[in-house]
Structure 1
Amino acid sequence: MAKAVVTVIGKDKPGIIAGVSKTLSDHNINILDVSQTIMSDIFTMSMLVNLAQLDEEFNKLQDDLNLLGKRLTVEIHTQREEIFDAMSRV
């Protein structure tokens, strides 16, 4: 199963989780695990997602999440799981 990690960080405000979840759903991506917290007024979230049903190229997903991040004024990063696996072998 192809997976990716999505991380979000920025000033807390309504709609962050909803926006990220909707964008992932729009790409037919299932959220496998999520962790989120607010430190003072800074929102942080990490998601493990399943890419098996991704409806387009991974770069299109990244572009859509980056655009969403700009609209919400948060940073959103998306990395394939194999990048983390490769980094741990170095």
Structure 2
Amino acid sequence: MTVTVFEKPTGCFGCKKTKELFDAAGVEFVAVDITTDDQALTYITEELGYSQAPVVVYEKDGSEDHWSGLNPAKIAQVIALDTTP
């Protein structure tokens, strides 16, 4: 499974909390700073259609899902998928 958190590292409570929840559960993720990575910003705004950080994209077994903003229910879902053998 791959998890990517597209974030604004400064001043984004939802970004910080999302990463903390994944860290606490032991879920590995890649953090991408959308304030310095123009391609990432274009991807989440133009391809995925989001205007709020964080944007979380996860893929498992060829299936992908994503969301924007702090979403504890979705985070719990990804944690459960990561801990399922």
TM range (shorter): 0.3 to 0.5
- The higher-RCO structure (CA 8 Å, 6+ apart) is 1
TM-score (normalised: structure 2): 0.33
TM-score (normalised: structure 1): 0.32
Larger Rg: 1
